[in-house]
Amino acid sequence: MRSFLFVPADSEKKLSKGLGTAADALILDLEDSVVADRKPQARTIVHSFLTDQVAKPKRPYLIVRVNARDSGLTEADLDAVMPARPDAVMLPKAEGGADVSYLDAQLARREQAHGIPVGHTRILVVATETAKAIFQLGTYAGASARLSGLTWGAEDLAADIGAESKHDADGRYIEPFQLARSLCLFGAVAAGAQPIDSVYPAFQDRDGLRRECEEARRDGFTGKMAIHPGQVDIINDVFTPSEAAIAEAKAVVAAFAANPTAGAVGLNGRMLDMPHLKLAQRLLARVPS
Ligand code: COA
Ligand code: MG
């Protein structure tokens, strides 16, 4: 999946607007975009939205972002939404594999209670929102077969560490946030999960968003979260492999297929060995069928 659009779950209007976008996934947010007073109402809205949508043949992937473990609200969120069979649950402020194991058990119990196959509900985590979380980014591998994506966030991390700024004059993340981003990428790949880039909050800055998407793809991220419908098309565009990239990857695969006993082959004057083949195969695996 390329684009993951956050939608505040207390807004029926935005939920229906979200369905009208080309987002691959909607993240129905019960956490920070919903004030405490409106959380009960937001849970009810998510339940009825999922009930309406889940059986539809053509719909986006539906993820519910629950409240963080330390809020004390996580389990009531799950109680409210799990009967309606979300595709996945996103845990914010996750601090390592132990939090994923905890969520796995919580999901399994509710799947059993509601006649949902155990393991149906996947898990995504926002994995860099506290200083403590940064030191746990290597612990996600093996935590749960449900784990399908890791993403990172700068806003909460800035608040946790007391950073005055997140960006340099050029608009690029500065060192502490770059480190969080890189470790999220490594942690996701190490765990066999999708590395998903963080949101781009300046939703009217289309050039800035495109640049950030391109830099994320360059580094190995395969999708990005959005906070506004206007961001979805740019994200989809950048994270859809281009015709040229697909043709090049096919040529690499073909070069190895034509030389089955060679560890290294030449293509257009360039040496190719196993890492090139692996990269080409990864890219082809992302081509929409
Ligand atoms: N999902 C669905 N619809 C959205 C949307 C979103 N994330 N963000 C905006 N829209 C809708 C608006 O309701 C508006 O609809 P309308 O034309 O029918 O009135 C339209 O898109 C244009 O929105 P716009 O006026 O440009 O923005 P806004 O001022 O209404 O909203 C935000 C700005 C930031 C409040 C809004 O984009 C938002 O709520 N984003 C998600 C925030 C979030 O979930 N944060 C948590 C993760 S970091
Ligand atoms: Mg947050």
Residues in Cβ contact with 287 at an 8 Å cutoff, skipping those fewer than 6 apart:
241, 246
Does one domain contain both 167 and 144?
Answer: yes
Does one domain contain both 71 and 25?
Answer: yes
Does one domain contain both 189 and 257?
Answer: no
**Cα dist. 161→94, 148, 166, 197 in Å?**
16, 28, 11, 21
Q: In a 3-state reduction of DSSP, which class is residue 128?
A: coil
Query: For residue 89, how far is its CA from the centre of ligand 2 (angstroms)?
Result: 15
What residue ranges of the chain have pLDDT lower than 70? none
Residues 179 and 210: beta-carbon distance below 8 Å: no
Q: How far apart are CA 173 and CA 177, in angstroms?
A: 6
**Alpha helices, H only, 33-96:** 39-53, 74-81
Does one domain contain both 229 and 277?
Answer: no
Structural domain harbouring 115: 3-239
pLDDT at site 33: 96
Does one domain contain both 25 and 83?
Answer: yes
Q: State how far Cα 80 lies from the chain centre.
A: 23
Does one domain contain both 97 and 209?
Answer: yes
Query: For residue 39, how far is its CA from the centre of ligand 1 (angstroms)?
Result: 18
Ligand nearest to the CA of 93: 2
Q: State how far Cα 165 lies from the chain centre.
A: 24
Query: For residue 286, how far is its CA from the centre of ligand 1 (angstroms)?
Result: 29
Q: How far apart are CA 257 and CA 262, in angstroms?
A: 9
CATH number of the CATH domain containing 168: 3.20.20.60
Pocket test for ligand 1, best of 46, 224, 227 (most atoms within 8 A of CB): 227
Nearest CA to ligand 1 atom 33: 228
Residues in Cβ contact with 125 at an 8 Å cutoff, skipping those fewer than 6 apart:
90, 91, 92, 94, 99, 100, 140, 147, 149, 150, 151
| Residues framing ligand 1 (Cβ under 6 A) | 5-8, 13-14, 17-18, 29, 32-33, 199, 203, 227-229
Pocket test for ligand 1, best of 11, 15, 17 (most atoms within 8 A of CB): 17
Residues 111 and 75: beta-carbon distance below 8 Å: no
Among residues 65, 3, 62, 64, which one has the least CA distance to residue 32? Answer: 65
The angle formed by the CA atoms of residues 205, 33 and 186, to the nearest 5 degrees, is: 70
Does one domain contain both 129 and 268?
Answer: no
Does one domain contain both 201 and 252?
Answer: no
Pocket test for ligand 1, best of 12, 14, 35 (most atoms within 8 A of CB): 14
Q: How far apart are CA 123 and CA 89, in angstroms?
A: 5
Q: How far apart are CA 238 and CA 113, in angstroms?
A: 41
Does one domain contain both 249 and 188?
Answer: no
210, HSE (Cβ side, Cα atoms, 13 Å): 6
Nearest CA to ligand 1 atom 8: 228
Query: For residue 271, how far is its CA from the centre of ligand 1 (angstroms)?
Result: 48
Q: Which two tokens stand for residue 20?
A: 């009208």
Q: Which two tokens stand for residue 103?
A: 């969520």
Does one domain contain both 184 and 253?
Answer: no
Q: Which atom of ligand 1 is nearest to the CA of 226?
A: 7
Ligand nearest to the CA of 129: 2
pLDDT at site 289: 74
Does one domain contain both 258 and 224?
Answer: no
Q: Classify the C-alpha dihedral 66-69-73-79 as positive or negative.
A: positive
Query: For residue 159, how far is its CA from the centre of ligand 2 (angstroms)?
Result: 10
Backbone angles phi, psi at 247, to 5 degrees: -60, -40
Total domains in the chain come to 2
Q: Which two tokens stand for residue 225?
A: 């979260």
Residues 45 and 8: beta-carbon distance below 8 Å: no
Does one domain contain both 113 and 153?
Answer: yes
Query: For residue 156, how far is its CA from the centre of ligand 2 (angstroms)?
Result: 5
